Chains A and B, each alone.
Chain A
């Protein structure tokens, strides 16, 4: 979160650093093995393996039959690879409906929210009306308080608007809860655009809107890309508001569907783990698509430089 923001041309994550002429991995300058480095590498690898264990367990579980889950070790590979767990998961989790709802919400809400946040950040950062910093402060505070505080009254508000249990209605609070952080980050980014650039556009007769649309917005692309990832992940995974505001199963989003796999007495772990894997696929796709902006954009910019 930011005030001043490193501009996009600053070094993107570690790889662009000044490198020594010769790459040394595990040897010192004099060619002898560097035991400190080897020790570091080994401990990182062990920690990494520890972090990967839950994924391994999930994966093997997702391919085991119910009987096998209760009879064999959690570590063992499946004897029969029960791919039908994935088909069962699609059915039990109602994946096409819940996934469709999640996708609809994310694909409408995320770009729209970014546009509104960018417009707001532009006004605060570039138009410089009176009290603009007060406005920024009031908005930014909203990104830092837990959403659960307003959940009760939000429920009443949505009831009064007749938008309870409505996928489109859910987008309104989702927009509201994404905006503060985005305004905060984009403000820093837009603030860092040199005045001369805007002045020369003004001299050429550009209107306020054109300066926003054709000058400032394109310059903020790295931040927008990074915020797109963050917001997509957050929206796709949001649970607290969805569970409060969506009721009928046809309106459920992916995180709500997880509870379909448990009854009061038992959980169907094979299909559940299959569902968990499948539910993360869209997020992983978005992450891979925008990855190169991820670190260099809002995150490097998240820091007061």
Chain B
């Protein structure tokens, strides 16, 4: 392993003195050896590619080494916004995905966390069952669910037939109207556990003295929940909201594995469309334009949270 060299303090170590802080090299120089490896990797392999994607969105380029990018101004954006119906489909689907993720799995996770926060028979088993899907790779989850959705042999349609709902059976991933929601169900199955664990951790911050005090004062369960639990849970809840939004914009593996964006681009999302434009259609410029939109959407959702976190930390 490459460890960074241990930076010795510059000043000669004085014998033990009562003065707690000695003057040394500037703090920044002392910090530098610790910063460089992480910041260097981060800058070169993450920040730079992202900014480069924005730059490339003003060029046309096939992505091949032999080919030179040619500057085209805002042509890529004009084309994307006016004559690329797939972009709008992908944009709409990404929005749907974010909104649905904030509604369905999060509410479910909250209910599960509240339920499983109580002592009950089989609590640990249940927690594990809900969390287990989260440790599987999304791409394997996609493979599993493609099997469950198999039109003739899959569990879902067979279950519907068994309970007499034949008319509900369909090609879950082949019907452009419902394919997106079919994939979404798989994502709920996978994602709920992680939010649940976070919320369970947050519930431990609910002061039990306050709960007891409220009960003694005659508050009913709902009032305790409304006035004690909710306020104490708020910080965790905000973290869960942010993580949910970020993860919804990142959704990629599940869609690649289950539908590949189809049928007829009906499950296309921004992250996958950017990838497809760059690598399948060999248009790094168009891919960069989609990526730039995705970047702006992500920042718009995330920056308020960042400011909130850093607030009140001035020292």
Contacts and interface: CB of A to CB of B under 8 A. Distances in A.
Interface of A: 1-3, 6, 10-11, 13-14, 17-19, 23, 25, 37, 40-41, 43-45, 47-48, 51-55, 57-58, 61, 69-70, 73-75, 108, 111-112, 115-117, 119-120, 122-124, 127-130, 132-133, 135-142, 144-157, 159, 172-173, 175-177, 179-180, 183, 199, 202-205, 207-209, 212-213, 233, 236-237, 239-240, 244, 254-255, 258, 261, 267, 269, 272-273, 275-276, 279-280, 283-284, 287, 294-296, 299-300, 302-305
Interface in B123-147: 125-126, 129-130, 132-140, 143-147
B38 A303 contact: no
A14 B310 contact: no
5 tightest Cβ-Cβ pairs between the two chains A and B? A150-B49, A237-B137, A176-B45, A120-B38, A153-B52
Contacts of A280: 135-137, 140
A295 B197 contact: yes
Contacts of A244: 275, 279
A130 B27 contact: yes
Given A14-B203, A146-B298, A239-B138, A179 B42 contact: yes
B16 A276 contact: no
Contacts of A17: 204, 208
B239 A303 contact: yes
A246 B135 CA distance: 23
Contacts of B246: 144-146
Q: Which of B38, B154, B246, B295 has the most CB of A within 10 A?
A: B38
Interface stretch (B72-80, B99-107, B176-184, B247-255): B247-255
Contact of B46 (A117, A142, A203): A142
A61 B144 CA distance: 10
Contact of B309 (A2, A150, A269, A295): A2
A240 B34 CA distance: 30
Contacts of B309: 1-3, 304
A305 B285 CA distance: 44
Nearest to B15: A205
Interface string B151-163: 0011100110010
Interface in B265-306: 271-272, 274-275, 278-279, 284, 287-288, 291-292, 294-295, 298-299, 302-303, 306
Contacts of A254: 137
